[in-house]
Amino acid sequence: MFSVIRLCSRRAFLSPINNNSNRYRSLSLLARCSGRFGIQQRAIHSSIYLSNKNEKRPPNNNHEDATDEDLERVREAIKKFIKEKAQNNLDPERKRQIDEDIRRLEETIRRQQQKGAPPPPPPPNENGSGSSKIPPQPPVWNVNIFQVGLAFFLLSFLLDVFNTAEEQKEITWQEFRQKVLSKGYVSKLVVINKSVVKVYLNENGQNSPENSGHKFYYFTIGSIDSFEHKLQKAQEELDIQSDFRVPVEYIQEGNWTKAMFQILPTALMIGGIIWLTSRSVQSASGGARGGIFGISRSKAKRFNTETDVKIKFKDVAGCDEAKEEIMEFVSFLKEPSRYEKMGAKIPRGAILSGPPGTGKTLLAKATAGEAGVPFYFVSGSEFVEMFVGVGAARVRDLFKTARENAPSIVFIDEIDAIGKARQKGNFSGANDERENTLNQMLVEMDGFTTEDHVVVLAGTNRPDILDQALLRPGRFDRHINLDKPELEGRKAIFAVHLGKLKLSSSIFDLKNRLAALTPGFAGADIANVCNEAALIAARNDQKSVKLEHFEQAIERVIGGVERKSKLLSPEEKKVVAYHEAGHAICGWFLRFADPLLKVSIIPRGQGALGYAQYLPGDIFLLSEQQLRDRMTMSLGGRVSEELHFSSVTSGASDDFKKVTNMATAMVTQLGMSEKIGWINFQKKDDSDLTKPFSQETGDLIDSEVYRIIQECHERCTALLKEKASELEKVAQFLLKKEVLTREDMISILGKRPFPERNDAFDKYLNGNETDRIKKSERETDEKSSEEKPSD
C-alpha cells in the first residue's frame, strides 16, 4: 500500500496546514491519491468537514472523533515513512500506526453520517479558494459577438446555397422552348429583378419523367424587351392561342445574403477605423508605445557590449589620429567625474567622415566596445518613410531610449540621408518630411545636456552636403576625418587581418610587401584582399596562404577576374600586346611616371582586354612635369598602335578620358596655363552645367587643353620611336608569356635610368626580398609535410 505513496504524499503534505484553504488544498490532493491507499475519497472529504467543525478541540482517545491534530499526526507519519523507505530503513510499527489512524478517520466519518451531519463540502479548487461557507460560482461564458455573428452568417450562407442547389435548375432559352413551352408544361413565368425568369411547371410538367419532380426551372435574360419579343415569337410559331398563352409576372425580390456581401466591406472598413482610433487613443494615453502598428518606434538596433560588440581599439588600425580623438569619448563615458570636476564639457557628438571603407562604422563599434555602454546603431535611411511625421517620431523615440539607458552611444550611419542641407525657397514640398526629421534631430541634440551622458556619433561620405546647423558647436562638435591609410597604416591593417589566416611565411615579411603593393587601398579593400587570398588558397587545395595567393587577390581586386573563356583573335591579341608595351616603355623611361609592377594581356573584368599595374607612391603634391609625364604615359598605348598598325582601335578610350581630365584640371583649376592665368573654374559636381566664364574664355580653355595634350602626344611619339627596339622586345615577350613582371622588365631593358621615388620598391619589392619570402614558404611546407606522417 505504501509503495506508491511517494509522489502523492509529497504533493499533499509539503507545507503545514495553517488555515482552511491550505487544509482543503492538502486534503484534496490526498483525496486524489487515496484510491491508491484503499481509502475512500468521500472519507477524506468528510474529514475536511470534520476538521472545520472540530477546530481547536483537545486530543481525544480512540473512541472519540478525529481532529486536526490527528490529521497532522498522519501527515508527519507519512513523511517519515517516505524518508525511511528512501533509506531502506522501514519501521513496521510506523506502518501499523498509519493504518490505525486511517481506520479512525473512517469511523469518524461513519459516526457523523449516522448523526445526520450535513454533507461534506466539495473539494476546493486548485488556487485554494474553496470553502464550506462560499457557494460555488456559476460558470462564466465568454461570448465573442463577432465570432457568433460570423458563425450565423456562414450558416445562413451555406443553407441558402444548399437550398438553391436543391430547388433550382438552370436551363437555356432553347431548352425552355423545345422541352417545356412546346409541350405545354408551363404554368406561368415570373421575371425576378429583370434578370432571371422562373418557369413554374403545371401538374403535367411536374409528373413527366423528364423533369424528375422539379416544380420550376429558371433561366437568365439580357433585357425585358428582348425576352418579351422572343416569347411572343415562340408562342406564335407554336400556334398557341392568345387565351392560352403563358402569363408573365414581374416582381422585385431581395436576397439578404447578397445584401450582406455588399454591406460587409463597408462594415469592415468602419470597424477598422474604430479599432485604429482606439489604438491611437491608447497610444496617446501611454497604453501602447509606438503609435499605430508601432510605426513611429525607432528601428535602432541595440548591441550588447558584453555579447554583441567584441571590437576593441586594437582591432582598428590605420587611423591612429582618429582613435586618439575619439578615445576622449570613451574616457568620458567611463569616468565622467574626471572632466566634470574641472568644469569641462565633453563634446555631444562627432561626425566621422571619409571615403568608403575607411572604418567609420568599425571605429564607432570599437568606441562602444571600449566604453562598455549600450550602443545603438541606426541608418539614416530608416528615418525616411512615406508617412508624414514618422521620421520625427522615430528620432524622438531613439533619443528617449538613449536617455533611459544612459550612459550610451548612438551611431547614425549615412546621416546625409536626413542631414542634407535644407533648400531655400522650396515650393514643391518634396523634401518637407526629410526637413521635419532634420529639425527634430536638431531639437533633440539641443534638448539633452552633457549630464545625460549620451554621445552621438555619425558617419557620412559627404560631409560637404550636410546642413550647417547640424555641424555647429553644441551638436556635432568634433569633425573626425578618416583618410585612406598610408604605408605605415596599411602595414598595421594587414597585421590585423593576416593574424587570422594560416600563413606560410611570417606576418612581418608579408605585411611589409603587401602594404607596398596596395597604395590607395582602404581598410575594406585590404580586408577583401586577405579574404580573397584565403579563398584562392582553399580553392587550390593548399595547406596555407602564400605570397602568390595575395598577389592574385590584389590583381582580382584591382582589375577583376581573369576571363580565360574570352579568347582573343591573333590580330586582337597582337594589338593589345603592342598597346600595353607602349604604356610599359613610357612608364619605364619617364622620370616622374608611376613605376611599372606588372603587365598582362589576359582579359579581366568588364571590357578590359589588357591590364597594367603601376605602383604610385604616397604623393600629395604634383608638379606640372609630373602631370605631363603621366599624360604622356597614358597616351603610350594609342601612339604604339599608330606606329605599328595601319589603323587604330577603340582600346584607348579610357586613356583619353584620363588625359582630358588631367589637362582640363591643369588649365581651369591648377593655374598651369599662361594664357588662362591663376584662375579657378572648378565645377561643383559633374551635374553642374553652368560655365562661370564667357564664350571667349571657353574657347581659350579648349585651345589650351588641346595644346597640352598635343605636346604630350608629340613627346610620346618621339620616345617610342627612339625606343622602338625595346618596345618590340616587350611586345613579343607579352605575346609569348602573356604576363610581364618588373623582374622581366629589368632582364629585358635593364634597370630604370632614374632612382625610384618610392622607397618601398627598393626595400620590400626587390628580387632578393621576393626570393627570401618564397624560400621561407618552401621551408614551411617541407616542415609541415615532415610533421604530418608522425601525427
Catalytic residues: 580
| DSSP string computed for 510-568 | HHHHHHHH-TT--HHHHHHHHHHHHHHHHHTT-SSB-HHHHHHHHHHHHH--B-TT-PP
Which amino acid is residue 101, in one-letter code?
D
C-alpha cell of 326?
575619439
Separation between Cα atoms, residue 786 and residue 769, nearest integer Å: 26
* Rg (alpha carbons) of the chain, rounded to whole number: 47
Provide the sign of the torsion angle of the four alpha carbons 155, 160, 161, 165, taken in this order: positive
Nearest to 9 by CA among 75, 71, 55, 94: 75
Question: CB within 8 A of 602, min separation 6: which ones?
Answer: 562, 563, 564, 611, 738, 739
Contact 100, 30 (CB under 8 A): no
Q: Is 218 helix (H, G, I), strand (E, B) or coil?
A: strand
What is the separation of C-alpha 223 from the centre of its chain, rounded to a whole number of angstroms? 59
Question: CB within 8 A of 303, min separation 6: which ones?
Answer: 309, 365, 368, 374, 375, 376, 377
Contacts 24+ apart (CB under 8 A), 107-114: 108/46, 108/47, 108/50, 108/65, 108/66, 109/42, 109/43, 109/46, 109/47, 109/50, 111/65, 112/46, 112/49, 112/50, 112/65, 113/46
Q: Is 604 helix (H, G, I), strand (E, B) or coil?
A: strand
Say which residue the cell 450535513 belongs to.
Answer: 118
C-alpha cell of 674?
599662361
Separation between Cα atoms, residue 720 and residue 730, nearest integer Å: 12
CA atoms within 13 Å, Cβ hemisphere of 573? 14
Separation between Cα atoms, residue 689 and residue 754, nearest integer Å: 43
- For the chain, the first-to-last Cα distance in angstroms comes to 64
Q: Is 144 helix (H, G, I), strand (E, B) or coil?
A: coil
What is the separation of C-alpha 422 from the centre of its chain, rounded to a whole number of angstroms? 30
Separation between Cα atoms, residue 515 and residue 507, nearest integer Å: 12
Separation between Cα atoms, residue 204 and residue 207, nearest integer Å: 5
Nearest to 537 by CA among 505, 498, 503: 503
Q: Is 472 helix (H, G, I), strand (E, B) or coil?
A: coil
User: 596-600 and 739-741 as β-strands: parallel, antiparallel, unpaired?
Assistant: antiparallel
Residue 555 burial (CB count, 10 A): 22
Q: Is 314 helix (H, G, I), strand (E, B) or coil?
A: helix
Question: CB within 8 A of 124, min separation 6: which ones?
Answer: 21, 24, 25, 28, 130, 131
Dihedral pair phi/psi, residue 286, rounded to 5°: 90, 5
Question: CB within 8 A of 129, min separation 6: which ones?
Answer: 21
CA angle, 766 then 768 then 769, to 5°: 70
C-alpha cell of 598?
606588372
Separation between Cα atoms, residue 258 and residue 261, nearest integer Å: 5
